[in-house]
Amino acid sequence: MATSFTRMMRGRNTAMILASVGAGSLAAGYLLSDSAAAAAATAAERQRLYPPSADFPDLRKHNNCMAASLTPAIYARLRDKTTPKNWTLDQCIQTGVDNPGHPFIKTVGMVAGDEESYEVFAELFDPVIKDRHNGYDPRIMKHPTDLDASKITSGMFDERYVLSSRVRTGRSIRGLSLPPACTRSERREVERVVVTALSGLKGDLSGRYYSLGDMSDREQQQLIDEHFLFDKPVSPLLTAAGMARDWPDARGIWHNNEKNFLIWVNEEDHTRIISMEKGGNMKRVFERFCRGLKQVEHLIQERGWEFMWNERLGYILTCPSNLGTGLRAGVHIRLPLLNRDPRFKKILENLRLQKRGTGGVDTAATGDVFDVSNLDRLGKSEVELVQLVIDGVNYLIECEKRLERGQDVKIPSPIPQFRK
Amino acid sequence: MPFGNTHNQLKLKFTSIQEYPDLSKHNNHMAKVLTPELYERLRTKMTASGFTLDDVIQTGVDNPGHPFIMTVGCVAGDEETYIVFKDLLDPVIQDRHGGYKPTDKHKTDLNAANLKGGDDLDPNYVLSSRVRTGRSIRGYCLPPHCSRGERRAVEKLSVEALGSLTGDLKGKYYALKNMTDAEQQQLIDDHFLFDKPVSPLLLASGMARDWPDARGIWHNDNKTFLVWVNEEDHLRVISMQKGGNMREVFTRFCTGLTKIESLFKDRGHAFMWNEHLGYILTCPSNLGTGLRAGVHVKLPNLSKHAKFGEVLKRLRLQKRGTGGVDTAAVGGVFDISNADRLGFSEVQLVQMVVDGIKLLIEMEKKLEKGQCIEDMIPAQK
């Protein structure tokens, strides 16, 4: 790949230097620390042998955000750059090259290997982010963070319709590479930092960690029955990005004793945090979510760590689709009449909501129960998004009740995208 | 695989023990050899193209192993891998290739005239004959590690060289990404088409990146000589035909290979080869000759005999289903081929197959007549 060739060119230069000082044969190999040393001298040689056009991927059959934004000119400017940890553009886009895309769903097609990826490769990430997040422009806009659950109103749903409520997000530990790029030691360090912090949680948040590699059969079955267990990713979107390497090393699941606060360690992100419970008390779910998040953040800060965050992009996660809040707040809901109404799709769209099957993304609804959640992640705060879900779901329930009574429903006016 | 863990400078700030993979549940050649001490010695090294120890072993870390088959668990990213990481690969090679020592020399013999017989395997039993090998082009990284530019350069060179073949070797190239539906169906019907790898053993090493860019199939007009470009190796070369004339298959194989090699040389490129390891390929299991010579043969009675496995072992042969490795036999028809790759020449291996198949057919005939085969069981080769 492009980076390997950079090293080969650097290596050849280094070989000449080493040979001239009599440092031994090629057979000894090169020390990794040499690779940075000869970088500058080889750029010209590399351009001559393999110009960026030779490496530019064939994206003619592709339908993802990366392919829509990556031009030969951008590729030429970014190909030879690296983040401070040596992550390259080719590594960011490999998943998008290997997965041309779904005809109906436009996938993102690139990932970050570390926090700096979003800066070093901003020329490609920024238009991709804009494409994916409805025009949010990281160059000029700021993302609001608000985890004050007390601001939520009307957060209790009619439980004749809402079966369960859930809020999830992700957090990354600053200073350690993200799952596509991390070494085994970095991944183990993420696990250590997070598990140590979680062991400091008390009261209704106190709980236990289950390492994927060390789990007993009985524990495994229990976690499967509770719908907590995550498996090695099989989606080629994820495996092509390299995040399944070394499975199941340093992966695990933590949950509190009450089984309504759950954390995944080292799956697609450093951490995924989930607050959930049966029934319609979304306000309580979000309150526990915010409280838990703040406590975990405090516990890692005590030991000198922090979450990846900046005011341009909010919380930094592996996939650009999860930037900002990384938040998906949703319910499992039964709306048999509205579901069959031809206007349902438009109603959801205007409310900035999304319908999924009860198995999550890319699953089908079973027996009229489906998952409804926010579409947006970036450009609106956590409080705004959860309130939007609450107001939207309440509207849907109103529609269902009206249809039950033989009354008509109205398509609501569309919610504006960003605060002007 | 050229991912972050291999280029991550931060890795060296952690100790070797912190980085050492958990191989406690693993059963592959790499896991048997890679001790923490060896990991520490090799982890700071890399080849000139930037291939590191972690790149070599990623597939073995991600695939703990097959319960019945001992997989290799490592791959090469370039020719130099076998030198820079010899402390890991030599013992793996020794284990995999029947005790082949780091000081041993490998013989190459592609003179088909040196084969004795082989043109008369009984066609009532032998349905088809086939010889395959691989070749790598010196100066380019191997499939786990190559850039798109390199892979395309390998394709371009190969297509040019193959385009110069004449006579019964004259043929055509079909790029995987440009194939029409009609061409694709024809290649499937001919059993020529290869697909994107799905085996996690291959995917974990990074050789399926950018699929199907710069991958393709070339075959001659007679459909008896076939070359795969940029699948698991730079080139896989296959000679095959219906019936039992292995001699003709092998002759065409040697002629074709030799021609291709000289066409590459004309353009300033050599195949990767050295006198210790023979032809250099991606997987250590294919070193030496990289040669698998085999037949599809009907052995319904012999295959049910209690000593079948033992006989094959002594003849240094291996059985597979007719779909290739990891498939089942159908209707008493087996794929029988040489078990060895390294330490024997091409002629020697094909001779073993020819002589071995002759004996197996004779045993089958005896069993058909209800006779005993105990006195025919050979000594260990």
pLDDT digits (tens, 9 = 90+) for A330-366: 999 999 999 999 999 999 999 999 998 876 565 666 6
Among chain A residues, the shortest Cα distance to B208 is held by A98
For chain A, percent of residues with pLDDT exceeding 90: 76
Q: Give just the sign of the alpha carbon dihedral A399, A403, A407, A408.
A: positive
| Edge-to-edge order in the sheet of strand B292-298 | B171-175, B216-220, B225-229, B235-242, B126-135, B292-298, B333-338, B317-320
Return all residues near A356 (Cβ < 8 A) that are at least 6 apart: A330, A362, A363, A370, A371, A372, A373
Give the pLDDT score at A29: 55
| % chain A with pLDDT above 70 | 86
**B84 in reach of chain A (CB within 8 A):** yes
Cα–Cα distance, B315 to A160 (Å, whole number): 74
pLDDT of A5 higher than 50: no
Does B295 count as an annotated binding residue?
yes
Q: Which of residues 276-315 of B touch A (CB under 8 A)?
A: none
pLDDT value at residue A283: 97
B275 has a chain A CB within 8 A of its CB: no
Q: What mean pLDDT comes out for the span A58-65?
A: 95
* Token couple for A78: 């970014």
Whether residue A181 is predicted with pLDDT greater than 90 in this model: the reply is: yes
Q: How confident is the model at residue B197 (pLDDT cuts 50, 70, 90)?
A: confident
Inspect the interface and report whether the beta carbons of A177 and B49 lie closer than 8 Å: no
- Edge to edge, the sheet with strand A207-211 lists A207-211, A252-256, A261-265, A271-278, A162-171, A328-334, A369-374, A353-356
For the cut 70, the answer to whether the pLDDT of residue A223 exceeds it is yes
Q: Do A57 and B148 touch (CB under 8 A)?
A: yes
Are B147 and B155 in contact, with CB atoms under 8 Å apart?
Answer: no
Count of beta carbons in the 10 Å neighbourhood of residue B194: 16
Nearest CB to A3 within list B2, B46, B153: B2
Q: Buried (b) or exposed (e) across B147-166, using 16+ Cβ within 10 A?
A: bbbbbbbbbebbbebbeebe
> Do residues B148 and A57 touch, judged by C-beta distance below 8 A?
yes
- pLDDT given at position B3: 45
For β-strands A353-356 and A369-374, DSSP reports them as antiparallel
Using an 8 Å Cβ cutoff, are B232 and B283 in contact?
A: yes
Q: And the tokens for A189?
A: 């360090």
Please name every residue paired with B172 in a beta bridge, in sequence order, or none if there are none. Answer: B219
* Cα nearest neighbour of B80 on chain A: A27
- With CB atoms and an 8 Å threshold, state whether A182 touches B4: yes
Residue A40 has pLDDT above 90, yes or no: no
The end-to-end CA distance of chain B, in Å, is 38
> Is A377 within any annotated ligand binding site?
no
Say what percent of chain B tops pLDDT 90: 83
| Helices B246-266 and B346-368, axial angle in degrees (round to 10) | 160
- Within an 8 Å CB–CB cutoff, is residue B21 touching chain A? yes
Tokens of A274: 């989930």
Across the interface, whether the CB atoms of B4 and A180 are under 8 A apart is answered yes
Picking from B123, B140, B129, the residue whose alpha carbon sits closest to that of residue B272 is: B140
Cis peptide before A179 (omega within 30 of 0): no
Q: Which of B107, B379, B132, B362 is nearest to B246 (CA)?
A: B132
- Residue A25: predicted pLDDT: 35
Rounded to the nearest angstrom, the minimum Cα separation between A298 and chain B is 26
Q: Which of A33, A94, A186 lies at the smallest CB-CB distance from B209?
A: A94
Mean pLDDT in residue range A298-321? 97
Per-residue pLDDT tens digits for B338-348: 999 999 999 99
The three-class DSSP label of residue B31 is helix
Inspect the interface and report whether the beta carbons of A32 and B12 lie closer than 8 Å. Answer: yes
Q: What is the predicted pLDDT for the residue at B192?
A: 86
Of A26, A54, A114, the CB nearest to B80: A26
Contact B364, B302 (CB under 8 A): yes
Alpha helices (runs of H) in B243-345, residue ranges in sequence order: 246-266, 308-314
Distance (Å, whole) CA A307 – CA B317: 59
- Residue B288: CA atoms inside 13 Å, Cβ hemisphere, count? 28
Q: Confirm if A5 and A46 have CB atoms less than 8 A apart.
A: yes
- Angle subtended by helix axes A39-49 and A2-20, to nearest 10: 120
> What SS3 state is found at A334?
strand
User: According to the model, what pLDDT value does residue A36 have?
Assistant: 44
Q: What is the mean pLDDT of residues A239-244?
A: 95
> Which residue, A231, A246, A212, is CA-closest to B26?
A246
Cβ neighbours, 10 Å, residue B45: 17
Q: Is the pLDDT of residue A45 over 90?
A: no
Chain-wide mean pLDDT for chain A? 88
ω into B197 cis (within 30 of 0)? no
The answer to whether the Cβ–Cβ distance between A183 and B147 falls below 8 Å is: no
* Residue of B178, B115, B129 whose CA lies nearest to B346: B115
Whether the ipTM is more than 0.85: the answer is yes
CB contact under 8 Å between B4 and A183, yes or no, is yes
The pLDDT tens digits of the residues spanning B342-379 come to 999 999 999 999 999 999 999 999 999 999 999 999 99
A250, closest residue in chain B (CA to CA): B22
- What is the b/e burial string over A226-238, where b = at least 16 CB atoms within 10 angstroms of the residue's CB? eebbeeebeeebb
The pLDDT, as a whole number, for residue B326 is: 60
**Residues of chain A with C-beta less than 8 angstroms from the C-beta of B1:** 242, 245
∠ CA(A78), CA(A82), CA(A86), 5° rounding? 155
Residue B314 has pLDDT above 80, yes or no: yes
The pLDDT tens digits for A116-156 are 999 999 999 999 999 999 999 999 999 999 999 999 999 99
pLDDT at B336 over 70: yes
Minimal CA separation from A23 to chain B, in Å: 15
CB contact under 8 A, A4 and B146: yes
Q: Within the 220-259 window of chain B, which residues sit less than 8 Å (CB to CB) from chain A?
A: none
Residue A232: per-residue pLDDT = 86
CB pair distance less than 8 Å for A11 and B209: no
* A5, A184, A245 member nearest B19 (Cβ): A184
Alpha-carbon distance B149 to nearest alpha carbon in chain A (angstroms)? 4
Look at strands B278-279 and A353-356 and give their pairing: unpaired
Tokens read off for A331: 């319910």
pLDDT one-digit tens code per residue, B36-46? 999 999 999 98
Chain A residues closer than 8 Å to B18 by CB: 184-185, 188-189
Residue, of B367 and A27, whose pLDDT is higher: B367
Q: Which of B13, B40, B150, B203 to mutate to test the interface with A (most CBs of A within 10 A)?
A: B150
The amino acid at A99: N
CA dist B62 and A247 (Å) reads: 6
Q: Which of B168, B289, B286 is nearest to B225 (CA)?
A: B168
> For residue A379, which phi and psi values (nearest 5 degrees)?
100, -15
Residue B33, marked binder = no
Which residues have a Cβ under 8 Å from the Cβ of B194 and sit 6 or more positions away? B217, B228, B231
The per-residue pLDDT for B196 is 86
pLDDT at A222 over 60: yes
Query: Mean pLDDT over residues A6-33, rounded?
Result: 41
Residue in B224, B367, B233, B225 with CA at minimum distance from that of residue B301: B367
Residue A16: which pLDDT band, with cuts at 50, 70 and 90? Answer: very low
The SS3 of residue A201 is coil
Residue A3 is predicted with a pLDDT of: 43
Q: Is the pLDDT of residue B210 over 70?
A: yes
CB contact under 8 A, B48 and A26: yes
- Probe site for chain A from B1, B7, B61, B87 (most A CB atoms < 10 A): B7
Q: Print burial letters for B217-253: b (CB count within 10 Å at least 16), e (below 16).
A: bbbbeeebbbbbbbbbbbbbbbbbbeebbbbbbbbbb
Distance (Å, rounded) from C-alpha A166 to C-alpha A144?
Answer: 22
Q: For residues A83 and A116, what is the distance between their CA atoms, to the nearest angstrom?
A: 6
**Mean pLDDT taken over chain B:** 92
Q: Which residues pair with B330 in a beta bridge?
A: B333
Are A123 and A74 in contact by the 8 Å Cβ rule? The answer is: yes
Interface contact flag, B4 A86, Cβ < 8 Å? yes
How many CA within 13 A on the CB side of residue B211? 18
Q: Cβ(A313)–Cβ(A118) under 8 Å?
A: yes
Q: At A99, is the pLDDT very low, low, confident or very high (cuts 50, 70, 90)?
A: very high
Quick one: average pLDDT of B241-254?
96
Contacts of B41 in chain A (CB under 8 A): none
pLDDT band at A231 (very low <50, low <70, confident <90, very high): confident
Query: B21 vs A249: CB contact, 8 Å cut-off?
Result: yes
Q: Calculate how close chain A gets to B269, using CA atoms only, in Å.
A: 16
B chain contacts of residue A111, beta-carbon cutoff 8 Å = none
Nearest to B149 among A50, A87, A244 (CB): A50
B256 labeled binding residue: no
A331 is in an annotated binding site: yes
Domains and CATH numbers, chain B: 5-97 (1.10.135.10), 112-369 (3.30.590.10)
Question: Chain A to chain B, count of Cβ pairs less than 8 Å apart?
Answer: 179
- Would you state the torsion angle of the CA atoms of residues A348, A349, A351, A352, taken in this order, to the nearest 10 degrees? 120
Average pLDDT over residues B248-253: 97
Closest-CA residue of B relative to A5 is: B49
Give the model's pLDDT for residue A48: 65
For residue B265, pLDDT over 80 is answered with yes
**B191 known member of a binding site:** yes
What is the C-alpha to C-alpha distance for residues A10 and A33, in angstroms, rounded to an integer?
12
Q: Which of A302, A195, A317 is nearest to A252 (CA)?
A: A195
Cβ under 8 Å to A: B residues 140-159: 141, 145-150, 152-153
A386 closest CA partner among A346, A333, A328, A334: A328
Closest CA to B89 of B35, B133, B34, B7: B34
The token duo for A309 is 């965050």
- Residue A183: which of B11, B49, B209 has the nearest Cβ? B11
pLDDT of res. A4: 43
> Which residue in A29, A86, A246 is closest to B61 by CB distance?
A246
Strand partners of residue A201? none
Residues B134 and B362: their CA atoms lie apart, in Å, by 32
**Cβ-defined contact of A32 to B46 (cutoff 8 Å):** yes
The reply to whether A165 sits in an annotated binding site is yes
CB-count burial class (<10 Å; 0-12, 13-18, 19+) for A403: middle
Per the annotation, does A208 bind a ligand?
Answer: no
**What SS3 state is found at B288?**
strand
Phi and psi (nearest 5°) for B134? -130, 160
CA nearest neighbour of B247 among B337, B131, B119, B129: B119
